[in-house]
Amino acid sequence: MPYPGVFKPIKKGNFRVSPFQVNKQWSIDNTSYSSSGYTLHQATHRNYITPIGKTTLSTFGQNYNTAGTVLDLATHAGNDPINIYDQSYQQVIWQAINHKYYKFPYDPGRNLGASDRNTIEKRLFLSASSFTIPYFKVGESIKPGSLVITDTSNDFILRDDKRGNLRDTLIASESFASADNLVGYWGFNEEFKKFKYNAGYHSNDIIFDSNVYEVDVKSQVVNTNFQPGIMTTGLADIAARGYTGSELLLDPTLDLPIGVSSGWATGSTAAETASYSAFKITGGQLIISSSAIVTGSGGGNVYSALSLIGSDGMISGRTYRLELKNLNITSGTIELKFGRNFNTNPTRPTINSSDNGNYVNYFEAISPASDSFTINSSGSVLATIDKISLKEVEMPRSGMKAIFDGTGYVKTDAYKALNFDREDDFAISFWYGGGASQSIYTTDANSLITKRGVNDKLILNKKTRKREVVEENRTLTRYPFDLEVLNSNAGSTNVGTIRFRRSDGVITYSSASATQCTGSFQNNQAPEYHIVAQKSGSYLELWIDGTREIQSLDPVPGEVLNYSKLMFGAMNTDFKNALSGSIDEVRIYNYGLNETAIKSLANNHFLSSSAYQTSVAGNVFYKSGQSIISSTSPKYHKALGEGGNDTDAKWNIDYKGTHTIWENEVLVEVPAGHSNVTMNPTALQRANTDRLKKDFTASLTPYITTIGLYNDDAQLLAIGKLAQPIAKRSDVDMNFIVRWDY
């Protein structure tokens, strides 16, 4: 019988290591992230020149480009990062340790890593919010599909789509036009990365990749000004999120009496000799108490009026927000007057007791220099107002747009997907901004988007005796589409209307919109117009701002196919019919759009914008535990900042960390008669035997409570404790399994 002992070797094959993954749920919010090991960085443009890092911004909204500096750099020269590829100042590029912010150029849905040779650096837009999770709360990676960023004021809910994209669930992506049918896209956002400066006028030719769907297609830009793009809509939502200027009233809290010090004056709108005491400011409150209507000496009703002294800084064409706080009308009605020219459009609003509370209205200043904001009271009126606020709403813009001044254009080669024939359906979607005047009046229209003025011609070079292709300006009579804006040569009632034409060289279809698109250029304060021109089945259609204005059977019987180059802003490179106005977000589809898709393209609301046909607002880098938000939409500006656009912004981030657990398993074999007895030789009957003395065995009842694992040097490595003692039998073999995780 073998000598008894407590050490037994582990047999080969009795040890196994099995990995498994666990996911731990984490949640963090804007109040506690910094004290929990998380890091938030902001990257924001300084005057549209690239900065990287945190900012010292103290104000938000539209003022971000002038409020403070980035990294306390006085100028960009020699300090801001330079694109080593083309030595240009570029939009923000986010980098961390051994990776960058990547994007696959021909499949925007893919989020690739640094090892993929097909990646390019993704340029960020006007701002970026980068959120870093500490490693011990990430583990090996964030679990794909688990990260959710929620703005608690319901501006956005960003969900990780398992492919590294953060998608805003508040944007209705199901209404998008079919991306599979998109054959051309010019947004002037991605291409902008190669410009030496991120905004301004470009007088030299610039070649850029204009179309991510056609690898080899290039566009040429000549004499074009690039500035912040299409205006967002949704006045109330924009103003509520901090996109307002400073208070324009001298005494908004109504602490001063009527007069020069408070900026208010009383008077009459019908008789200069009339004098009233219907308005009184006292105790931080405006009290209105007027008598019955009287007739002035010149005839007509006399209104008691409280008007601003001067315009208080209002500018014609700008949008303003008026708030009457704690309005309490006991009887009668009050008329609000926003400028002399607002008598009919819009009508002067009248308010009564149903408007009590915090009354808010928006208006555009028309002639503030001659007649500013006025409160009119007629008849028997009893009312009080605790505070009056008047602020300009600084409408934010999204992306970048191309602005033409009559001397520029964007030209793209006639690649196959754009060469529509007579049977082909197509749709052209874009945003246009323009005023009533043009700088070129050669004809009755100026060119928006056309495919008939620039062509390639095969000639014989007499010197080289070789054939070569040269470009020529020749206006074709056969073309699938030609979009123009009519000017004053077409008559005052037609100025600004959009004309859609198509011809086979014999019969020409030509029809213009009813809407005059003239309100979006002066002062750069009005939103642009969304245009869709399309052939859908047998019909030709023209849509303005999501409303169909023209639908007619296609009367052109012959072929319309040509191989002319695509031109924006001019008919040809000699600037024929060159445009003064802006063009943005040009999309060309090879099918006819339905109403849902067109309205989606025409929607650039601050909260729900689908104009860019994407719900992606950023990316997640799973292994590094970082997420970044950057989008053309201004609602994401400083999305996770200390206040964002609204200083009271609040947010939550929920995610799951992934941790690999290694389960170790050892099979411990205890043969019969071995182990858990004793190593004391005095307990044996004699040497070289394992028989115990009788007086020892009589009282011995062995139990196993602990199993130890040792190395070859008899050093203890691990201890396994049993839940309860197990009797050690000497007549049978016993096996134990020891498991531990780390």
Q: How many CB atoms lie within 10 A of CB 447?
A: 26
Topology agreement, domain 193-232+398-601 and domain 246-392? yes
What are the residues whose beta carbons fall under 8 Å from the beta carbon of 70, sequence distance 6 or more?
Answer: 43, 44, 46, 51, 52, 53, 54, 55, 56
- For residues 448 and 578, what is the distance between their CA atoms, to the nearest angstrom? 8
Residue ranges of domains in the chain? 22-173+609-660, 193-232+398-601, 246-392, 661-741
- For residues 394 and 525, what is the distance between their CA atoms, to the nearest angstrom? 8
Which pLDDT belongs to residue 460? 84
**Range 246-392 has CATH code 3.40.1790.10:** no
Do 731 and 671 touch, CB atoms closer than 8 A?
A: no
- For residues 447 and 435, what is the distance between their CA atoms, to the nearest angstrom? 14
- For residues 629 and 99, what is the distance between their CA atoms, to the nearest angstrom? 16
Do 432 and 531 touch, CB atoms closer than 8 A?
A: yes
Query: Which DSSP letter does residue 237 get?
Result: H
In Å, how far from its chain's centre is CA 208?
23
Helices (H), 274-420: none
- For residues 613 and 170, what is the distance between their CA atoms, to the nearest angstrom? 13
Do 606 and 634 touch, CB atoms closer than 8 A?
A: yes
Cα 500 to Cα 221, 312, 438, 544: the distances in Å are: 24, 44, 19, 12
Beta strands in 521-615 (DSSP E): 529-536, 539-544, 547-553, 566-568, 580-589
Cross-strand pairs, 320:
363, 392
**Cis bond leading into 346, ω under 30°?**
yes
- For residues 91 and 226, what is the distance between their CA atoms, to the nearest angstrom? 14
pLDDT tens for 308-351 read: 876 677 877 778 889 999 999 998 888 887 754 444 445 578 88
Which pLDDT belongs to residue 507? 96
- For residues 255 and 100, what is the distance between their CA atoms, to the nearest angstrom? 55
Q: Which residue has the tokens 């052109």?
A: 556
At 324, list the tokens: 């009457």
At 2, list the tokens: 């073998």
Do 459 and 425 touch, CB atoms closer than 8 A?
A: no
- For residues 199 and 313, what is the distance between their CA atoms, to the nearest angstrom? 28
Q: Which residues of the chain have pLDDT under 70?
A: 1-6, 42-127, 190-217, 267-277, 290-304, 310-311, 339-347, 367-372, 378-379, 520-526, 638, 641-649, 675-680, 690, 692, 694-701
The number of residues in the chain equals 742
Do 498 and 517 touch, CB atoms closer than 8 A?
A: yes
Which pLDDT belongs to residue 521? 53
Do 57 and 47 touch, CB atoms closer than 8 A?
A: no
Which pLDDT belongs to residue 357? 95
- For residues 41 and 131, what is the distance between their CA atoms, to the nearest angstrom? 7
pLDDT tens for 408-417 read: 999 988 888 8
What are the residues whose beta carbons fall under 8 Å from the beta carbon of 98, sequence distance 6 or more?
Answer: 114
Which pLDDT belongs to residue 378? 62
- For residues 396 and 525, what is the distance between their CA atoms, to the nearest angstrom? 10
At 327, list the tokens: 């309005």
193-232+398-601, which class in CATH?
mainly beta
Which pLDDT belongs to residue 43? 59
Q: Is 539 helix (H, G, I), strand (E, B) or coil?
A: strand
Q: Which residue has the tokens 């499949």?
A: 107
Which pLDDT belongs to residue 339? 59
What are the residues whose beta carbons fall under 8 Å from the beta carbon of 547, sequence distance 6 or more?
Answer: none
Which pLDDT belongs to residue 292? 41
At 674, list the tokens: 């071995």
Cα 59 to Cα 157, 314, 574, 645: the distances in Å are: 24, 21, 46, 8
What b-and-e string marks burial along 567-597, b requiring 16 or more CB atoms within 10 Å of the CB? bbbbbbbebbbbbbbbbbbbbbbbbbbeeeb
